[in-house]
A and B are shown apart, each in its own frame.
Chain A
Amino acid sequence: MATTVLTPTASRARSGLYDWLTTTDHKKIGILYLGNSMLFFLIGGLLALGVRGELAQPGLQYMNESTYNQLFTMHGSVMLFLFVIPMLAGFGNYVVPLMIGAPDMAFPRINALSFWMLPLAGTIMILGFFLGGTAAEGWTSYSPIAQSKYSPGVGTDLWIVGLILIGTSSILGAINFLVTIFKMRAPGMTMFRLPILVWTILVTSMLVVLGTPVLTSALIMLFIDRNYGGSFFDPANGGNAVLWQNVFWFYSHPAVYIMVLPAMGIVSEILPVFSRKPLFGYKAFIFATAAIGALGFSVWAHHMFTTGSVYLPFFSFMTFLIAVPTGVKMFNWIATMWGGKIQFSSAMLFAVGFLTMFLIGGINGAFSASVPVDFAIHDTYWIVAHIHYVLFGGSVFAVFAGVYYWFPKMFGVKLSETLGKIQFVIMFVGFNLTFFPMHELGLMGMPRRIADYSPTAGWNDMNVAATVGSILIGASVLPFLWNVFISLRSGERVGDDPWEANTLEWATTSPPPPYNFDRLPEIRSERPLFDQRHGLAGRGVGH
């Protein structure tokens, strides 16, 4: 009887560099995605420290406005496109085939291509710093400021090319996920027995396939405007600046759900395991995820309320409506934990951190859904608070939760729980110290994207607090990096299932062999491993 033991070929101590460079194994590619994304997280973080360093006091202490503009533009661009989206794609790459009992993704070579486009694209975008300046008109790149007249130099063009590459990588990856999930599930793994993470990756992939190409078209039109005398977006030539905003946000709003749905999926995997209780409302999660994905295409103009070109009642109503399925998820997560035997592992701490911080981000976002409120707070620090509560308090916390949760599966060793808790506490405190004051700053009228502000505006103390918080965030990354380093060298070795979890990736060795499974447990519910441990009496709720 075959058992899940590493084959002789898979037990090589360390794969060579050539193997990593040429691999088409989804597990290695997943790890490459995660490593590359963490590198860009650090770069984006340094850019943020530059921004916060300058803003701590009124006046320009360390740089001029032009440099400042590059810092916040590249901070946003790097964090969104080179960290959050690929990091979540990396988790998907590693975990989804395992969770559905497949030996790999549907198109392994396209999978490798999707990854390798990312370091290339990142290099191209950042090259701007060494070639006269990067893009500097915000990650949203509005016209006319993005036109060649106001943004001469290659920085914006490098930004465009890099982003087109990243978008293509995303689209190919999404097609890969969809074909894998639809066509390569193990026998017994029906759609309504899929883990929630797989469902969120599925819906996210639909958003990528349908939304990202629209961004590609916008970027190409901007490139033509800048380099070939095009007249799409420049009013001086007969173009339309609001057209850019429409095409850009048609993608970039679904993009925020691309950035958060897989994070919600990660949290949905972790909470049941560390509450020792099944996920509450499995089917509701699926329908809520689908609803968020669909509704996400109907709200883009809420970023443009103040342009005067938007049918305000529709977009305001649809924006409020999205809060409903999101609220359903929030209540179901809480109900999952309610009455459970909670274990506060590092993964669980970050998952609960996600719940609380994303809740704040969702609530302050609902304020902006109201048109009169948005007219007052649009383009102020209130929005900066909102985006960071959902993206950092939400996605980043979920990312770290996923790292602590799946690290043992990937590397066969656990990360240190002590260092994890230290990271969590410092990061949580630093994060709130940085971004909570920004609510007040926004209400007091501090605009976004300014390098300097008046010393008599009353904004000084809160900016100092935010900068101190950002230094704490930076500091919190250090125990994490140290944790990864020492755990890989001499961490606590683990077997197949260190967390006593529910889903199929824990039914094979840590790390899995190249072909993933020697044998699969019988799949009769959304918790096949739980069923195997407890016999059919423990059958989960899916069917």
Chain B
Amino acid sequence: MTANTTALAPVADGGEGMREVAALAEEHSRGGISNPVLGMILFIASEIMFFGGLFAAYFSVRSQSPVWPPPGSVHFDLRADIMIPATLTAVLITSSVTCQLAIWAIRRGDRTAMLRALAVTLALGTLFLAGQLYDYSQLGFGVNDGPFGSTFYTLTGFHGAHVFAGVVMLAVILYRGMAGQFSAKHHDAVEATSLYWHFVDVVWICLFTTLYLLV
């Protein structure tokens, strides 16, 4: 007789049945990371490969250019105005710290501290996006300004899109947290969101180093 006689009651309603399935899976799943967290790790792996393609294009284009930045625009010298991107870097790194504070808080069961930290993280993320848009307006070159413009805007633009997605995720878990939904034992969505947010930060650090420092 197997120990695996399923206690699932057959139900016609897919939603109810799946909640029972999910509960059972949670109780019976092997130790270690939860399904949503593993799913997020794999998703981040795919996102790393996506940015990998873009970085490969950047390095390929740059290595074939006799001079980098190429002639064609004085605005290509990004280091002339590095204050804004440097500030954005500090903002994003700080937001990763506050995000991790939120994680530590909810792992202790302290939902209030988690909400405070998440709110700060969300604010900093929004500040990053606003700052990035402002920086774009001051740059003086566009996506159609040769390979330099194409690679710069594609890389930073898709990073910005990912920050936006992260901001949305943070807003969702902040909302759910305010509605009383997370606890020390059940906060997979918060863990998954924080992993994504840290990933977004790491990508920015790579971007900032590559585009602004490796000149």
Contact = CB atoms under 8 A, between A and B. Distances in A.
A229 interface: yes
B147 A228 contact: no
A464 interface: no
B8 A515 contact: yes
Contacts of B4: 101, 186-188, 519-520
Interface string B24-41: 110011100001001100
A451 interface: no
Contacts of A224: 143, 150, 154
Interface residues of A, number: 62
Interface stretch (B14-22, B92-100, B165-173, B206-214): B14-22
Given A228-B143, A515-B17, A217 B61 contact: no
A25 B14 contact: yes
A220 B38 CA distance: 27
Contacts of B158: 220
A213 B24 CA distance: 33
Interface string B42-55: 11011101111110
B53 to A, nearest CB: 3
A107 B37 CA distance: 12
Of B29, B42, B70, B142, the most chain A CB neighbours within 10 A belong to B42
A527 to B, nearest CB: 16
Contacts of B54: 217, 221
B interface: dominant SS: helix
Interface in B126-156: 142-144, 146-147, 149-151, 154
B57 interface: yes
B18 A104 contact: yes
Contacts of A246: 56, 60
B25 A184 contact: yes
> Which residue of B11, B45, B47, B70 has the most chain A CB atoms within 10 A of its CB atom?
B45
Given A24-B14, A522-B2, A243 B61 contact: yes
Interface string A162-185: 000000000100111011001110
Contacts of B11: 9
Interface in A413-441: none
A214 to B, nearest CB: 4
B10 interface: yes
Contacts of A212: 46
Interface size of B as a range: 35 or more
Nearest to B34: A183
Contact of B45 (A107, A210, A250): A210
Interface in A190-217: 209-217
Nearest to B14: A24
Given A217-B53, A221-B54, A243-B60, A237 B146 contact: yes
Contacts of B46: 171, 175, 209-210, 212-213
A514 B35 contact: no
Given A232-B150, A243-B60, A247-B56, A214 B21 contact: no
Contact of B5 (A178, A225, A515, A519): A519
A210 B2 CA distance: 38
Contacts of A326: none
Contacts of B61: 232, 238-240, 243
Contacts of B10: 7, 9-10, 513-515
Contacts of A178: 38, 42
B57 A243 contact: yes
Contacts of B142: 229
A536 B4 CA distance: 19
Interface in B154-192: 154, 158
A183 B70 contact: no
Nearest to B33: A183
Nearest to A228: B143
B150 A179 contact: no
Contacts of B8: 103, 515
Nearest to B149: A231
B83 interface: no
Given A224-B154, A230-B143, 10 more contacts: A22-B14, A188-B2, A210-B49, A213-B47, A218-B53, A221-B53, A230-B144, A238-B70, A243-B57, A515-B10
Lowest 10 CB-CB distances: which A-B pairs, in order? Answer: A229-B144, A217-B53, A213-B50, A7-B10, A213-B49, A230-B150, A9-B12, A214-B53, A175-B42, A231-B147
Interface of B: 2-6, 8, 10-12, 14, 17-18, 21, 24-25, 28-30, 35, 38-39, 42-43, 45-47, 49-54, 56-57, 60-61, 64-65, 70, 142-144, 146-147, 149-151, 154, 158
